[in-house]
Structure 1
Amino acid sequence: MSLNINILICLFLCGEVPGIQSFEQVPWLPCQLVDESVTFNDEGHAETEYQHRDAGLQFGHPGDSALNPNKITFLVTGSKVDMRKYIEGVMAHQLRCEIRRYNTEGLQMRWPGLGAQEHDIWFTCTIRHTDGVFIITSFLRHTPATPTPGQAHYRNWAAIADRAALTTSTVMLVLTRSPSVRVGLVKQQSLHCQFDVDHKAADLTVEWRLQRHGERTTLFSHSSHSGQTKGSGVPLNAIGRGNASLTLPLTKQSSEGTYVCLVSVPPLFGSHDITLHIMEPPRVSLNVDSTIFLVDRGEQKVVCEAEGYYPLDVEMEWFREPSGGGGGLLPEKLDTVLYSSHRHHQDGTYSLSAFFLLHAFLHNSGSKYFCRVSHSSQRMPIRKSFTLIVTEYDSWNTALWLFFGFGAILVMVAILFVMLPRLSSARKANQVGTSSYLTCVSSFIRSIYGIRMVYVIQRNAYLQILSLQQ
């Protein structure tokens, strides 16, 4: 019979039973009970030892038999607070469960909920999603059949047998669906925090704190008992519905840190840490076009620029892929790359340059060079590339270059020979009015622009001839 129960539980957890797919349909969830025992050393100092024991959560009714009698069972019975409804649709194998004893720090008081006693024993049950989607902490109340004096104190907790079954009730929970947040600069971000209590008009306190560089700052606090509220970011009407989520102002570099959501209903005190990471991806650019034309043994400085990234951990590399894929060879990492220092900008972001002197050789013609930038804000590296076209430096190319070069020089000399005497004579002669002088100057400027256009046209024609030769 015990074997059949274990097989059934396994099928439940693996999602192989028809119709049983998500956590709210699973009657039993494996957990680790992290038990504590306190001893005193020779110097009188308390030392705590932790023991991990196999246990499980079983959802049902008082008096139900344990589904797995070989493990410690925490039977969670009917309560107004049901942890399962907050994580609906999640597969059981995606959950990690941990149960710990809860120390009320010497505060002895009767919980206001139905059936509570002053000698109740408390446990916390923390369930985490394996992908970091959420963390939920529930407080379990157990009423022992025979009260043991002092057993509520952490130094005198009663032992739990290996196959014990403890009937409990969930009286309060605290949940966050944003245990780790990544956000860019100048963005508005909400940090999720939710809670539930099994009775109304609870003596409730909600706080938000920021821990950064060893300093702790209180951002918001509200006490239902005193009615006092300090800070902002959490609407009071939302707290009445169990929503304590904090809305941050526009993010900046100083927004990064650990935010702590605290919910207290005496004698219980629950909290969750939410880590906020500022992540700004780099903007990557090259100082060259997608294709570079160079003559054999020519040179050109090539720069890869990564701008506006945060945090500082960026990696920039240059690679070369041979023409035609290189027969399946891997890209070659360039070892002649130089780097600038990190430049820190006023908005808190950084910039970095990686550059090298490109030497053109005929056997490298058609090769592709690419800059690869890796940053913690990006799942995949960013790549920017160009293709190198190398032209043989022969007498024909030399003649073409001399033709176009000397042609441009001759045109410039001719225009200057014609315009400069006119401009000089117009300036010396008083008979020339201001408008005539300005006309001469304007003509001279247009001539200079014409010279530039001639040079550009000739240069483009030369490059076009080179590309046709390829």
Structure 2
Amino acid sequence: MKPLSLLLAVALALVTAVSAGPAVIECWMVEDAGGGRLTKKPAALLLRQGPGTPPPRPDLEPELYLKVHDPAGALQAAFRRYPSDAPAPHCELSHYVPFPASANWARGLTSEQSCPRSLEGTWLMVSISSSIFRLSSLLRVQSEPQPEPALITLATAVLTVLTHSPVPRIQLGQDALLDLNFAYMPPTSEAATSLAPGPPPFGLEWRHQHLGKGHLLLAATPGLCEQMPTPQEGAVAFAAWDDDEPWGPWTGNGTLWLPAVRPFQEGAYLATIHLPYLQGQVTLELAVQKPPKVSLMPAPLVWAPPGEAPPELVCHVSHYYPSKGLEVEWELRGGPEGSFQKAEGQRWLSALRHHSDGSVSLSAHLQPIPVTAKHHGARYACRVHHPTLPALGRSAEVTLEVAGLSGPSLEDGVGLFLSAFLLLGLIKALGWAVAYKSTLKDSEEKKV
């Protein structure tokens, strides 16, 4: 049983390691070098440590090899479901100085005249971005590196702001839900006990930036009687702490809801959590989209005599967004040169037509070349490619009938039968009418 128990223990350890995410996050320390220049130095965050001492990193300065204590667990939770085959996230570190919020509506958060002593010391801001999540975390750094076999600096995650939908893609006209979570742990026990039990008041700010312009979308300070700016564009936020433990750590929610999004609401959404003298911010990139509808006219058949060109084909590509990235291809399927080939002829596109919902439409035109008997039964198709569609795109097709090469179809037979039936009925009706008039005339003559 011992080998089986050992194997089970190893398997459980592997599962735990995988589910816990990466132990070390490689970063860059970005600093201002003056003159508009920036310097970058390699850094690393040690989120989890196995038994023994931290692994040595002689390639890093001790001040940039950070062993992160995460009392709220927000950093580790963000990486817990990070796909193993996903690209490594981009991580940057920068120096941070605590400061009060500048907005009038957030001044109630900082009742003290100056930054409290509990916030003194060295602070760093870590920004991590990927296609899976984005987060910003304020780290309070211990003053001196630890004299362990591997020189390392201890840091505590104080405020972490996180979104699991960094690049939401929303269908035009549907509601958008921009996810935001945050976690906070007072940096020192003195800071925690100096305040009333329970989570502190906080401020939530959502700003929208698009095409070089920005504006405040929504602001809230739950628990404070402050005059708030009016929310814009029907925005609603779910701003609240998730728990009320007396001394922390605490987690909260600041998710934003936008009803029936329109194209002008695309762009960057900056979500900021304000605490007294501390701010954490993440950016989401909202994209609005709508896949095109495709139809081809005339349909379902086009007709042409041998040696002449079929009528002009019009491919209607309607109600899509964004307008950029659209491509239209013309195909001839089942023609004389194989099952698939590029359709020849003169082609052009119409101007864009704009609709009230922000979507656009256009028409693609093809004037085919003259056909031969070999083209009989071939199909003309227009294939549309757009960023909102799968790789193969979306297509519509019509069938080509060459005159003199097709017998009557079932529809033709049914049409002829109905026509003959109606004609026979009309003839009988006329016969009855003539007979009735003759009978009526004979009876009148007899009376005379």
1:233 to 228, 233, 236: 236
RMSD: 3.5
Match of 2:290 in 1: 280
Match of 1:104 in 2: 97
Measure the CA separation in 2 of the matches of 1:341 and 1:190: 34
Number of residue-to-residue matches in the alignment = 355
Change beyond 3 A, Cα 1:122–1:364: same
Measure the CA separation in 1 of the matches of 2:204 and 2:85: 32
Identity of aligned residues (%): 21
Match of 2:440 in 1: none
Q: Deviations over 1:189-227 (max 9, x none)?
A: 111111111144324211111112333221211225743
Match of 1:371 in 2: 382
Q: Deviations over 1:33-53 (max 9, x none)?
A: 3242534xxxxxx44432231
Match of 1:460 in 2: none
Assess if the C-alpha contact under 8 Å between 2:29 and 2:43 holds in 1: no
Match of 1:191 in 2: 178
Structure 1 residue 91 displacement after superposition: 3.8
Change beyond 3 A, Cα 1:271–1:78: closer
**Deviates most, 249-258 or 234-243:** 234-243
Match of 1:29 in 2: 24
- Amino acid aligned to 2:357: D
- Amino acid aligned to 1:383: S
Change beyond 3 A, Cα 1:80–1:335: same
1:355 aligns with 2:365: yes
Alignment of 1:136-285 (within 5 A): 136-145=135-144, 164-199=151-186, 200-224=198-222, 226-228=224-226, 229-230=228-229, 231=231, 232-237=235-240, 242-285=252-295
Assess if the C-alpha contact under 8 Å between 1:296 and 1:393 holds in 2: no
Assess if the C-alpha contact under 8 Å between 1:263 and 1:271 holds in 2: yes
2:307 to 297, 304, 324: 297
**Higher relative contact order (CA closer than 8 Å, sequence separation 6+):** 2
Measure the CA separation in 1 of the matches of 2:315 and 2:73: 57
- Normalising to structure 1: TM-score of the pair? 0.66
1:317 to 324, 329, 333: 329
Change beyond 3 A, Cα 1:319–1:341: same
Structure 1 residue 139 displacement after superposition: 1.7
- What SS class does the counterpart of residue 356 from structure 2 fall into? coil
Assess if the C-alpha contact under 8 Å between 1:260 and 1:273 holds in 2: yes
- Normalising to structure 2: TM-score of the pair? 0.69
As a proportion of its length, which structure holds more helix? 1
Change beyond 3 A, Cα 1:246–1:256: same
Structure 1 residue 20 displacement after superposition: 4.8
Measure the CA separation in 1 of the matches of 2:47 and 2:355: 56
1:340 to 343, 350, 353: 350
Assess if the C-alpha contact under 8 Å between 1:23 and 1:84 holds in 2: no
- What SS class does the counterpart of residue 22 from structure 1 fall into? helix
Structure 1 residue 169 displacement after superposition: 0.9
Measure the CA separation in 2 of the matches of 1:282 and 1:98: 37
Measure the CA separation in 2 of the matches of 1:263 and 1:121: 20
Assess if the C-alpha contact under 8 Å between 1:23 and 1:92 holds in 2: no
Q: Deviations over 1:430-454 (max 9, x none)?
A: xxxxxxxxxxxxxxxxxxxxxxxxx
Measure the CA separation in 1 of the matches of 2:128 and 2:319: 38
- Amino acid aligned to 2:153: L
Change beyond 3 A, Cα 1:383–1:78: closer
- What SS class does the counterpart of residue 52 from structure 1 fall into? strand
- Amino acid aligned to 1:141: R
Change beyond 3 A, Cα 1:77–1:382: same
Assess if the C-alpha contact under 8 Å between 2:239 and 2:252 holds in 1: no
Measure the CA separation in 2 of the matches of 1:122 and 1:335: 67
Measure the CA separation in 2 of the matches of 1:319 and 1:331: 6
Change beyond 3 A, Cα 1:263–1:65: same
1:66 aligns with 2:58: no
Assess if the C-alpha contact under 8 Å between 2:240 and 2:252 holds in 1: no
Change beyond 3 A, Cα 1:166–1:207: same
Structure 1 residue 121 displacement after superposition: 1.2
Measure the CA separation in 2 of the matches of 1:125 and 1:214: 26
Assess if the C-alpha contact under 8 Å between 2:98 and 2:278 holds in 1: no
Measure the CA separation in 1 of the matches of 2:342 and 2:396: 16
Assess if the C-alpha contact under 8 Å between 1:343 and 1:350 holds in 2: yes
- What SS class does the counterpart of residue 399 from structure 2 fall into? strand
Measure the CA separation in 2 of the matches of 1:133 and 1:302: 44
Assess if the C-alpha contact under 8 Å between 2:343 and 2:380 holds in 1: no
Q: Deviations over 1:355-411 (max 9, x none)?
A: 2234332132232221011112212311111232323489xxxxxxxxx9xx99xx9
Structure 1 residue 354 displacement after superposition: 1.3
Assess if the C-alpha contact under 8 Å between 2:222 and 2:240 holds in 1: no
**Deviates most, 265-274 or 188-197:** 265-274
